[in-house]
């Protein structure tokens, strides 16, 4: 958690932000969220993204292993 992500959503939408939490349904709480639409970027703050609207999740910074 607390890692920067790029999330592709259905309807060809894309957001980037910092993961703050998730649940068993892959609903995500994302902070500092920016919606990316071509060259346009819109700051939308903290959001909850429903798991059923997520297509892919990409880490934008290294994720370490926990022991």
Across 16-25, average pLDDT: 96
What are the structural domains, with CATH classification, of the chain? 4-59 (2.30.30.100)
Under the banding of pLDDT at 50, 70 and 90, the label for residue 64 is confident
Across 14-32, average pLDDT: 97
**Which pLDDT does position 66 carry in this prediction?**
67
Nearest to 34 by CA among 1, 54, 7: 7
**Out of 30-34, 40-44, 62-66, which region has the weakest mean confidence (pLDDT)?**
62-66
The yes-or-no verdict on residue 8 having pLDDT over 70 is: yes
Whole-model pTM? Answer: 0.86
φ, ψ (nearest 5 deg) of residue 66 = -100, 145
Q: How far are the Cα atoms of 31, 53, 61, 63, 67 from residue 17, in angstroms, in the given order?
A: 6, 16, 11, 15, 26
Mean pLDDT of all residues in the chain?
93
């Amino acid at each position: 958690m607390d890692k920067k992500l790029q999330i592709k959503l259905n309807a060809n939408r894309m957001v980037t932000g910092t993961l703050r939490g998730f649940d068993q349904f892959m609903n995500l709480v994302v902070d500092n969220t920016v919606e990316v639409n071509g060259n346009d970027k819109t700051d939308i703050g903290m959001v909850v993204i429903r798991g059923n609207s997520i297509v892919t999740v990409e880490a934008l910074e290294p994720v370490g292993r926990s022991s």
